[in-house]
A and B are shown apart, each in its own frame.
Chain A
Amino acid sequence: MVHVPRLRLAARLRDGSTLFILGGYLISILYAIIILVPIYYVAISAFKTNRTIFTQPLALPETFTFDNFVRAQKVAVLDRAFLISTGVTVGAEILTLLLAFPAAYAIARIPTRLSSLFEYVFSLGFLIPALAMLVPVYLLVVRIGLLYSPMALVIFYPATKISVSVILLASYLRTVPKELEESAQMDGASRLQMIRHIFFPIARPGVITVLILNFIDFWNEFLFALVMLNQRNRTLQIALTVIKTDRSLDYGLVAAGIVIVVVPVCILFILFQEQIVRGMYTGAVKG
């Protein structure tokens, strides 16, 4: 996308809009500061001793210490939590794609009267708040004997993202021209061959967007991980809140935990900002 400045400077300055623009900059900068100062505070606190956090909260550390990371690891067993978070996220990602891609293909490319029914049912997913399902899903997990097992999250998480994944993927699959499909059919290609050689490659940007958006949600999920897992198997998000309750005033440990928890998503955000914003925007419009 080419970003053309919308207004020429000369035209802009002729009337009272200068005030508007100054105000806009003022509010934007103020809000940016309100966002960045707490982030800066957490980032530097992770490398400071608790005493200097309390006495000079905004000063840069004189000596960088990794002591907080070491002790946070001891208090909350962060390495195991990191592995569990990774396993749950990857497992749920794969399962979501295995479920959503075929369904999106069916809705977008197999014309039957069922497609609109399926699309309608999936779109109901946007209306169901997670909190409303918390207790019933918990009971279901107990009943199938997966309470305290990370497997429960691998199985459950995909359901929460099927709606948006199917709808995003279907919109990509619809862009495949019918002629391409027909000529492949004439050459005797089967459905699975067409999916592999035509539909999947064309929908790849959509698949990547879906993978990124779902990664953020699965990695960041808190509530269901909290009630379904126990101390041995908790995810990173739960481990982070444990650091606080164990040592209520050692903020250096908490800050170190926050840094570890947010790094993977931060990397994704820096690399794929455009896809993330566009994906969330499309998800909001379609929902």
Chain B
Amino acid sequence: MQIRLTGHSEGELSASSAQHSTIRRNQWRRRVAFLAFGVPAMVWFLVWMLWPLINMFRISLLRWDGLVKASTFIGLANYQRMFTDDLFFYAMRNTGIHLLFGMPLALIPAFFLGFFMSLRLPGFRAFRFIFFIPAMVSVAALAMMFYGIYMPEGILNAVLRLLGLSAWTHNWLADPKTVFGSIIFIDIWTGIGFYAVLFFAVLSNLPNELYESARLDGASLWTILWRIAFPLSKGFFGVVTMLHFLWILTSAAQNVLILTKGGPGHYSLTLGYYLYNQAFVTQRLGYSQAIGVFLFIVGMVGLVIIRQIFRQTD
């Protein structure tokens, strides 16, 4: 009895263990297949994205004055240097001004225009097409275009003269009073249209009935914008704010690089351009990466704050 029982249960056991092992073999094969398909992209990503990021932190601890020179470990000296560096201070102030004006002046009109297009009144398709054009133009072409706008014989001055405002003409990129405003305007010019089209896309996903029923209740379009459209797309507004925040903090440096190189004097120096300048002009690789780490931390803290502000509360 006991023997038979044992025999029986042994048979059962071996059957289930055979089943178990096929499951395990399948699982193992699945994992191998997953790795075969997924690892190349992961390796690429780790080597060319994550590893450079980690390396930035390492290099920021070195004194390294040019590729051909040897590097020495100097701890946090590059970070201490920031506190006594006037140029770093100017760059930080300019970047702060850029964020302070550049963000609301791009995002608020963008949301209004996105909402306006989402009403689908006649002409909205043409507006959507035109508004998206600046986002398609490369930074180099855009900067060259704005060079033509801002130069002394450029169209901005030509239009001002046409309007009888000759007193307002400037050498926009060479005058300390106008240079940084001119740089900030480039991102506003591009940003409004690009983000307006993104806002249009998210508002188009809202059901028609929401608008219609609000209208039946006698709500004005302002009320719909404030009470329905904005609260329902608040999360997305946060996403767009993050995109623009990171853009101003880092990518906007390219306009400065092409157009003014931080000048005249330090009047258009930003943190992003200062990083480039210290690495490739002055050849202080360690210090430039310390600026990079500072920018990265400011970026991450900023993203967390923006996420808190725009957390969808529904």
Contact = CB atoms under 8 A, between A and B. Distances in A.
A112 B31 contact: yes
B141 A262 contact: yes
Contact of A6 (B38, B141, B208): B208
Interface residues of A, number: 106
Contact of A20 (B155, B222, B254, B285): B222
A168 interface: no
A105 B212 CA distance: 42
A180 interface: no
Main SS at interface, chain A: helix
Q: Which of A21, A137, A156, A255 has the most CB of B within 10 A?
A: A137
A265 interface: yes
A269 B52 contact: no
B56 A6 contact: no
Interface string B167-197: 0000000000000000000000100110001
A103 B198 contact: no
A124 interface: yes
Interface stretch (B1-9, B17-25, B132-140): B132-140
Q: Which of B38, B143, B159 has the most CB of A within 10 A?
A: B38
Nearest to A114: B34
Interface residues of B, number: 108
Contacts of A137: 48, 52
A272 B146 CA distance: 27
Contacts of B295: 129, 131-132
B45 A121 contact: yes
Interface string B234-277: 00100110010010011101100110000000000000100110
B118 A114 contact: no
A103 B37 contact: yes
B289 A135 contact: yes
A45 B147 CA distance: 13
Contacts of B158: 57-58
Contacts of A98: 40
A24 interface: yes
Contact of A106 (B34, B240, B243, B251): B34
Interface in B114-135: 116-121, 123, 125-135
A135 B45 contact: no
Interface string B30-47: 110111111011101111
A241 B38 contact: no
B303 to A, nearest CB: 7
Contact of A130 (B211, B250, B257): B250
Contacts of A160: 48-49
A131 B284 CA distance: 16
Interface string A261-287: 110011001000100111011001101
A256 B258 CA distance: 18
A176 to B, nearest CB: 15
Given A106-B37, A127-B303, A241 B258 contact: yes
A186 interface: no
A78 interface: no
Given A135-B285, A140-B52, A258 B141 contact: yes
A28 B220 contact: no
Interface in A20-68: 20-21, 24-25, 27-28, 31-32, 34-39, 41-42, 45, 53-54, 57-58
A70 to B, nearest CB: 19
Contacts of A135: 56, 59, 275, 279, 285, 288-289, 292
Nearest to B273: A131
A28 B40 contact: no
A35 to B, nearest CB: 6
Interface string B197-238: 110011010001001100100101110000000000000100
Contacts of B75: none
Contacts of A87: none
Nearest to B39: A103
Contacts of A240: 140-141, 144
A28 to B, nearest CB: 5
B73 interface: no
A125 B45 contact: yes
B296 interface: yes
6 contacts: A5-B120, A5-B121, A114-B34, A134-B279, A243-B144, A284-B240
10 closest Cβ contacts across the A-B interface? A159-B48, A220-B138, A136-B52, A103-B41, A106-B37, A24-B116, A136-B55, A102-B37, A131-B250, A129-B250
Given A1-B204, A121-B42, A136-B52, 5 more contacts: A6-B120, A6-B211, A39-B133, A139-B59, A142-B67
Interface of B: 27, 30-31, 33-38, 40-42, 44-53, 55-56, 59, 67, 109, 112-113, 116-121, 123, 125-141, 143-149, 151, 153-155, 158-159, 189, 192-193, 197-198, 201-202, 204, 208, 211-212, 215, 218, 220-222, 236, 239-240, 243, 246, 249-251, 253-254, 257-258, 272, 275-276, 279-280, 285, 288-289, 292, 295-296, 299-300, 303
Interface of A: 1, 3-7, 11, 15-17, 20-21, 24-25, 27-28, 31-32, 34-39, 41-42, 45, 53-54, 57-58, 98-100, 102-103, 105-107, 110-112, 114-115, 118, 121-122, 124-125, 127-140, 142, 155-156, 158-160, 162-163, 166, 191, 216, 219-223, 227, 237-238, 240-241, 243-244, 249, 251, 254-255, 257-258, 261-262, 265-266, 269, 273, 276-278, 280-281, 284-285, 287
